[in-house]
Amino acid sequence: MSLSEQMKFIVQELNKEPFSKSYNLISFDSLEPLQLLQVLNDVLAIIDPKQKVDIREEAADQTAVRLLQFLRVLKYKPPENVNMSEFRAGLVQGEKPVVFPILAWLLQRVPELQKRAYLAKFLVKIDVPAEIMGDEEVSSIYIQYEELMEQFKELHKQSEHLKNSGFNTGEIRKDITNMEEEKEQLLKRIERLRRKVESHPNSQKMMTVAKNLRVERDREKRLAAQKQEQVTTISHLDQRIKRLEAQLRESRQASVGATPESMIQKLEEETRTNSFLVKEQLPKDISQRRKMIQNLQKVVSVPAMGHSDLDELNAKIKEMNAEVNQLIEKRMRSGEPADDKHSLFKQQAGIIAHKKEAAAQALRAARDEYSQVAQEVEHKRQVVSSAEGGEVLKGEDFKRYVNKLRSKSTVYKKKRAELAELRAESGVLTRTDEILKQRNEHINRQLSVLERKRGVAGYRETQDELEKVSSKKSELDEMKGRTLDDMSEMVRRLHAEIADRRNTLAPILREIRPLREKVQELTPEYENKKQVYERQQAGFDSNMSKLEQEVRGYREECKAEESRYHYLNCMMKVLHVQQQRVAAEMKAYVSSDAQEKKKTFREIYSKKIQEQENMSRGLREKQKMVRENHEPNMKQMKMWRDLQRLMDCKKHCLEQISSLGSTAGAGGIMGGYGDSAPTHLEEDRLVL
């Protein structure tokens, strides 16, 4: 990328967010070196907010050290053709050929560099001198520091994986709020149920029994799950046994009528085929793939081609093809009969080799297809076994399965016919029920009319209600009796289960009792050692804080000395460059060669001064000539304006004459005008 393209890209990126500059190419190109360094520092501040500094308030050596150190953290590599000393000097002085590539590189990868700058705060190791590392405490602390750094790397990887896993925070928050609401509702329900249970006289005993029951049910569920897993495992093993038996049967059927000679011959053929694939076909494929990779690498390494380059390559290809055709024709014309016989055998050998290659490729394709089909079959078998609990049937099993399906189909048809008959009968009975209901309503209306006539209205409804109440009362009494019996039975069963559990837990409790006594004995020792550990940890923390303060002071001193060293180094290089320029100037000035003297700055600037004086002298003479000829030129300009006005007037008169429409009148006027024309021409000459 050239310098102008870099400048265009930089201006476009700086005018976007988050920089929001208002540069154009001219204004950006006219920036002073200090302003250009400030722009570079602003870009670095977007990457790392700690770099937000006003260049004018910072010393030049500190700025250079800070920028170079941060670019080293960001892993910026200067161009290979640039010397590092020149690069540092150009960065300090804010030279455009040095700053523009840095800005273009930074603006191309701002998000990546922001992440790198964030990680650099935690992953850039502290340089500890070997003398200090000799101390055991410092070395142990440094090892702990490295372990924490590795732990941070792992946690950061997990964080990035979670960020990229596609979880939506909004959905997670919504799920959390829903779960909290459900939790509140459950707590309210539990509180209501607790109040109801506490009002019961035997609530504590019943709660204990219910808790034990729930524990046993959970255990029963776990055992049922284990049982189901065992059943599933057994079914899978049975299926595997069936598959192995089927493979064994197939192998036995395939081995029927086979002889050792035929099997050896078959194995030899297979061995020859595999050896051909391994020794001849695979090396060719590998060499072709390597050639392809080399060609692709060449294509990648070559810069992008235009249409002109492609046209040149196509022309070269055509020339080479034409040359090859000419060579083939020449060879065919100069061929001998013996060569013709050999060519025939060569052609036959080539045809056979092509056939072998085609057969090998077909064999490989068939093997790949066979392996793919076998994988699909195995997958479908697993799907069928997981869905139906069995495997695909074959032979006699399949026939039995078909006969079973046929018998089930006949049973299904019979049942469907019976169901149709029952539906028809249900329709008839429904209609009969509707008719009887209508008759019942009619009879009830007649009875109500008779009751009103006899003065006992509502007698039948009251009697029906009394019968319903008595039946409900008897049902409730029976339900209460059954409930009490069930509760007493459940309590008795629970007591029996609790007694069984106590009997089973008794040996475990006897084993736990000495362990509890041992725990009570070891608890004071544990507390004492814990206190000793906490005291030692507090001492280590205080020593570590002191060491950190000392290291911080040494680090600041080191940074100051490094910045001073870099500043003095840069100043020495600048002075060295200036000294070289002065020496070259003196050498050229003292030299007796006229060409060398002409290359000196004195001669160059003297020549430029002379050229400027000559130019100013010519401009003064031109100015004097313009001043002297100003009045005559103004008069001449006025005369030209008068002439233009006169010609416009004549044009206007001619247009009026042509608009009269009378041919004779027009001719007379034109004749009169023609007589006076020479007079006007003479006036024009006088004016000129």
pLDDT tens string 254-311 = 666 667 777 787 778 778 777 877 887 788 888 888 888 887 777 766 665 666 777 7
Under DSSP, the state recorded for 304 is: P
pLDDT at 380 over 60: yes
- pLDDT at position 675 is 42
- pLDDT at position 229 is 87
| Amino acid letter for position 293 | I
pLDDT tens sequence across 170-228: 777 787 888 888 888 888 888 887 777 777 777 777 778 878 888 888 888 889 888 88
Lowest mean pLDDT among 198-212, 234-248, 607-621: 198-212
Q: How far apart are CA 285 and CA 268, in angstroms?
A: 24
The ranges assigned to domains in the chain are 3-124, 200-250, 598-628, 630-687
- pLDDT at position 191 is 84
- pLDDT at position 332 is 64
pTM of the model: 0.29
- Percent pLDDT > 70 in the chain is 82
How far is the CA of 363 from the CAs of 327, 331, 358, 360, 368, in angstroms?
38, 38, 8, 5, 9
pLDDT tens sequence across 125-135: 777 777 677 77
- pLDDT at position 671 is 46
Do 122 and 149 touch, CB atoms closer than 8 A? yes
- pLDDT at position 106 is 85
Mean pLDDT for all residues in the chain? 78
pLDDT at 676 over 50: no
> What token pair was written down for 595?
């060409």
b/e burial code for range 568-604 (CB count within 10 A of at least 16 → b): eebeeeeeeeeeeeeeeeeebeeeeeeeeeeebeeee
The larger pLDDT score, comparing residue 336 to residue 595, is at: 595
Q: What radius of gyration do the chain's Cα atoms show?
A: 54
Q: Position of tokens 């055992």?
A: 223
pLDDT at 468 over 60: yes
How far is the CA of 106 from the CAs of 10, 97, 103, in angstroms?
10, 15, 5
Do 390 and 239 touch, CB atoms closer than 8 A? yes
> What token pair was written down for 4?
């102008």
Do 585 and 598 touch, CB atoms closer than 8 A? no
- pLDDT at position 651 is 92
| Element (DSSP H or E) covering residue 142 | helix 136-164
Lowest mean pLDDT among 178-192, 440-454, 486-500, 666-680: 666-680
- Homologous superfamily in CATH for domain 3-124: Intraflagellar transport protein 81, N-terminal domain (1.10.418.70)
pLDDT at 544 over 50: yes
Lowest mean pLDDT among 393-402, 522-531, 631-640: 393-402
- pLDDT at position 680 is 42
Q: How far apart are CA 637 and CA 659, in angstroms?
A: 33
Under DSSP, the state recorded for 280 is: I
- pLDDT at position 347 is 66
Q: What is the mean pLDDT of residues 383-395?
A: 56
Do 212 and 501 touch, CB atoms closer than 8 A? yes
The larger pLDDT score, comparing residue 681 to residue 512, is at: 512
Do 53 and 41 touch, CB atoms closer than 8 A? yes
- pLDDT at position 605 is 82
Do 47 and 73 touch, CB atoms closer than 8 A? no
- pLDDT at position 97 is 82
CA angle 29, 572, 56 (to 5 degrees): 45
- pLDDT at position 460 is 64
Q: What is the mean pLDDT of residues 391-415?
A: 72
pLDDT at 382 over 80: no
> What token pair was written down for 174?
């919504």
Task: Tell me the range of 35-39, 106-110, 380-384, 654-658 where mean pLDDT is highest.
Answer: 654-658
- pLDDT at position 681 is 40
> What token pair was written down for 481?
């009796």
| Amino acid letter for position 182 | E
Q: What is the mean pLDDT of residues 465-473?
A: 70
pLDDT tens sequence across 500-520: 877 777 777 777 778 878 888
pLDDT at 600 over 80: no
Q: How confident is the model at residue 548 (pLDDT cuts 50, 70, 90)?
A: confident
| Amino acid letter for position 543 | N
- pLDDT at position 433 is 83
